């Protein structure tokens, strides 16, 4: 490799390897975020090529912050600074390993996981409905923020509309704030809404929905969706929709189809026809003014078909500037996105939001329409446990420069916010490399699996088989699920295509045998209400469809939604 100093701009080199002596406690993401973004962008190829040295430095910085903490004392991390020493002592961890430390920190006993400032407490809600809390150090919070900056740099190159300050964003998220911590100063936020909250504060008037809209409490999820639809209809310059699961935008379109006339009236009068607390109504009244001219334009579109939206051309008439849709494109959510995108005008281009979770933002998407993304060497320390050897305690996780193209892994991360070899329980596939840095795609949860005759069939394998079937038959499945039966397993499919069921059954049998090793004993064709019902039953006042990922593996078939049995 060439001399490392010549690989980088001088300022970038110092930000990575030689922190300012006046601030030795600074973290790499903090130092890089102080550099002009375009300079960072120009140096990214060197970062990708030099990922081993960058990752070793990240791990060293994280371990320095661990010294003297309660966690380090309990897990033999004191005196550990290098990768080699780390590999001798580090154990895989799950959330339960951190819960007592988080609880003590939130009670005021600082220094549990890292010796640094805590910026936030992050709350996330899983499928069980139980809230999990994470500590977010200032460096960890900056790492997430900086990842969004880097993602934005790629977006500006692939979607120029992103840089247009006149274009309006519709960013759909969950409700952001909860409360303050023990000191009444450290904010507790919902992971799903915090990133968008930060972006809205930076981009201001580019947003159709304000921070205040999302932080106004007491509005039911269904009523909030109605309000989102009215706000969007009122904005002729709506150009970009950003939503983790784009199915939420599809549900907004459904509300416009069903209640468009009433929405036009709300725009005309500036009054919302849904229930809400008077305090919320007064706040929203200040920012949503009567707009009779826009109401007249929408009424003209409505009267053509007695409905606002009947086809993509109507969407273009309502929002002639709509050009971009951003959301998750991987795993089951990718099917949701595809279902929504086919409803939009063809000129609307799609870009992945990037793979991430409450624990960290993990990839940088670089191409239109692709679910893949590059790992970020500067963000956290990545390790990959070969999926084919899961359960073998003698197998050492691999670093990012040691993985192989085409292989599946469980991802582990070590972060500036005090997670140490934290197993995400996520299956990722290495699809390529940029420099020596892997480009990965999220496939699904490793817990999303079937056990058939003692053999594990992962949910992503079922989905991959369905994708092969789609390609062979020229159809699309909007939903793919499976469950264990007495004789093996069954699959459930939802599609809006006309299908020859005999051909479908034969093709699924052939592909499933090749991809999964077993042919499903039953195939259920589900009605078109089934998938929508799954999102509706999972929606709460603080969580809409944007934050929901439907599992592939479930426990049984909901009989009321069966349309055909093969």
**Residue pair 177/249 in contact by the 8 Å Cβ criterion:** no
β-partners of residue 441 are 429
Band of the pLDDT at 203, cuts 50, 70, 90?
low
**Cβ–Cβ under 8 Å, residues 551 and 450:** no
Query: Are the beta carbons of 551 and 448 closer than 8 angstroms?
Result: yes
pLDDT band at 202 (very low <50, low <70, confident <90, very high): low
**Interval 120-144: pLDDT, tens:** 888 886 555 578 889 999 999 999 9
Averaged pLDDT for residues 76-82? 96
Spatial distance between the Cα atoms of 415 and 421, rounded to a whole number of angstroms: 9
Helix, strand or coil, per DSSP, at residue 133:
strand
Retrieve residue 459's tokens.
Answer: 């949910």
Give the pLDDT band of residue 389 (cuts 50, 70, 90).
confident
> 450 φ, ψ to 5°?
-110, 150
Q: How many other C-beta atoms can be found within 10 angstroms of the C-beta atom of residue 289? A: 9
DSSP structure string for 511-554: HHHHHHSS--SEEEEEPTTHHHHHHHHH-BTTB-GGG----SB-
Total residues belonging to the chain? 566
Structure tokens of 195? 């990133």
Identify the band that residue 185 occupies on the pLDDT scale cut at 50, 70 and 90: low
Residue range 59-79: average pLDDT? 97
482 CB burial (10 A radius; 0-12, 13-18, 19+) = buried
Cβ(269)–Cβ(233) below 8 Å: no
pLDDT digits (tens, 9 = 90+) for 213-241: 887 888 888 999 999 999 999 999 999 99
pLDDT at 197: 58
Question: What is the per-residue pLDDT for 217?
Answer: 82
Please state the φ and ψ torsions of residue 551, each to the nearest 5 degrees: -75, 155
Q: How far is CA 452 from CA 241, 344, 362, 391, 449, in A?
A: 41, 40, 32, 18, 10
When computed from its CA atoms, the radius of gyration of the chain, rounded to whole angstroms, is 25
pLDDT, average across residues 154-178: 82
Residue 198 — pLDDT band, cuts 50, 70, 90?
Answer: low
Between helix 331-341 and helix 459-473 the angle, nearest 10°, is: 30
Task: Please give the domain boundaries of the chain with CATH numbers for all domains.
Answer: 4-138+355-445 (no CATH), 160-175+191-322 (no CATH), 449-565 (3.30.300)
pLDDT tens sequence across 89-126: 999 999 999 999 999 999 889 999 999 989 888 888 65
For 376-385, what is the mean pLDDT? 97
| CA-closest candidate to residue 235, choices 343, 323, 349, 319 | 319
Mean pLDDT of 283-291: 91
Sign of the Cα torsion 252, 254, 257, 263 reads negative
Helix (H) or strand (E) holding 120: strand 118-125
Give the relative orientation of helices 37-49 and 51-66 as an angle to the nearest 10 degrees. Answer: 100
pLDDT digits (tens, 9 = 90+) for 318-340: 999 999 999 999 999 999 999 99
> 187 phi and psi, to 5 degrees?
-75, 140
Instruction: Return the sign of the alpha-carbon dihedral for residues 323, 477, 249, 130.
Output: negative
pLDDT-above-70 percentage for the chain: 93
Q: Return the higher-pLDDT residue of 299 and 541.
A: 299
Q: Could you tell me the two tokens for 80?
A: 């550990």
pLDDT confidence of residue 164: 82
pLDDT at 70 over 90: yes
pLDDT at 149: 93
CA distance 200 to 335: 28
More confident residue, 175 or 413: 413
Percentage of the chain lying above the pLDDT 90 cut:
78
Query: Over 80: is that where the pLDDT of 274 sits?
Result: yes
Of 377, 359, 414, nearest to 65 by C-alpha is 414
- Model confidence band, residue 444 (pLDDT cutoffs 50, 70, 90): very high
More confident site: 192 or 527: 527
Three-class SS state of 26? coil
């Amino acid at each position: 490799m060439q001399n490392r100093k010549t690989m980088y701009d001088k300022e970038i080199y110092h930000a990575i390897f030689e922190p300012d002596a006046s601030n030795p406690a600074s973290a790499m993401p903090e130092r890089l975020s102080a550099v002009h973004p375009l300079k960072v962008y120009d140096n990214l190829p060197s970062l990708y090529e030099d990922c081993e040295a960058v990752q070793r430095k990240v791990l060293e910085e994280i371990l320095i912050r661990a010294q003297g903490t309660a966690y380090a004392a309990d897990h033999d991390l004191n005196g550990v600074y290098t990768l080699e020493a780390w590999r001798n002592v580090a154990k895989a961890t799950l959330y339960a390993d951190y819960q007592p430390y988080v609880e003590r920190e939130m009670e005021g006993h600082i220094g549990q996981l890292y010796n640094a400032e805590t910026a936030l407490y992050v709350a996330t809600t899983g499928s069980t409905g139980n809230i999990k809390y994470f500590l977010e150090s200032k460096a960890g919070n900056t790492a997430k923020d900086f990842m969004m900056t880097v993602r934005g740099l790629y977006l500006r190159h692939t979607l120029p509309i992103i840089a247009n300050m006149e274009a309006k964003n519709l960013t759909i998220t969950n409700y952001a704030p909860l409360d303050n911590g023990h000191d009444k100063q450290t904010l507790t936020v919902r992971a799903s809404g915090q990133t968008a909250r930060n972006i809205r504060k930076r981009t201001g008037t580019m947003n159709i929905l304000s921070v205040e809209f999302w932080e106004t409490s007491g509005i039911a999820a269904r009523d909030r969706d109605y309000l989102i639809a009215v706000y969007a209809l009122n904005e002729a310059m709506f150009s970009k929709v950003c939503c983790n699961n784009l199915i939420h935008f599809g549900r907004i379109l459904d509300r416009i189809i069903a209640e468009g006339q009433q929405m036009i009236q709300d725009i005309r009068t500036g009054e919302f026809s849904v229930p809400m607390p008077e305090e919320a109504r007064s706040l929203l009244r200040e920012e949503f003014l009567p707009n009779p001219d826009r109401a007249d334009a929408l009424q003209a579109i409505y009267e053509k078909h007695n409905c606002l939206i009947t086809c993509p051309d109507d969407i273009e008439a309502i929002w002639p500037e709509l050009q971009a849709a951003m959301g998750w494109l991987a795993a089951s959510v990718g099917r949701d996105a595809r279902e929504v995108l086919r409803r939009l005008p063809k000129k609307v281009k799609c870009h992945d939001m990037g793979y991430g979770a409450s624990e960290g933002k993990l990839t940088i998407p670089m191409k239109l329409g692709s679910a893949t993304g590059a790992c970020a060497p500067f963000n956290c320390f990545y390790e990959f446990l070969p999926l084919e050897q899961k359960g073998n305690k003698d197998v050492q996780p691999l670093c990012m420069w040691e993985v192989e193209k085409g292989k599946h892994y469980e991802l582990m991360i070590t972060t500036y916010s005090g997670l140490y070899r934290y197993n995400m329980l996520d299956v990722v596939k290495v699809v390529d490399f940029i420099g020596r840095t892997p480009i990965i795609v999220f496939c699904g949860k490793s817990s999303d699996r079937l056990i058939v005759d003692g053999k594990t069939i992962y949910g992503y394998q079922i989905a991959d088989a369905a994708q092969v079937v789609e390609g062979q038959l020229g159809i699309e499945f909007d939903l793919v699920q499976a469950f264990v039966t007495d004789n093996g397993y069954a699959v459930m499919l939802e599609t809006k295509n006309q299908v020859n069921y005999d051909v479908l059954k034969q093709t699924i049998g052939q592909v499933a045998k090749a991809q999964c090793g077993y042919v499903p004993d039953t195939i259920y064709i589900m009605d078109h209400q089934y998938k929508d019902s799954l999102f509706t039953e999972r929606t709460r006042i603080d969580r809409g469809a944007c934050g929901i990922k439907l599992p592939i593996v479930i426990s049984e078939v909901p009989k009321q939604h069966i349309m055909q049995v093969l």
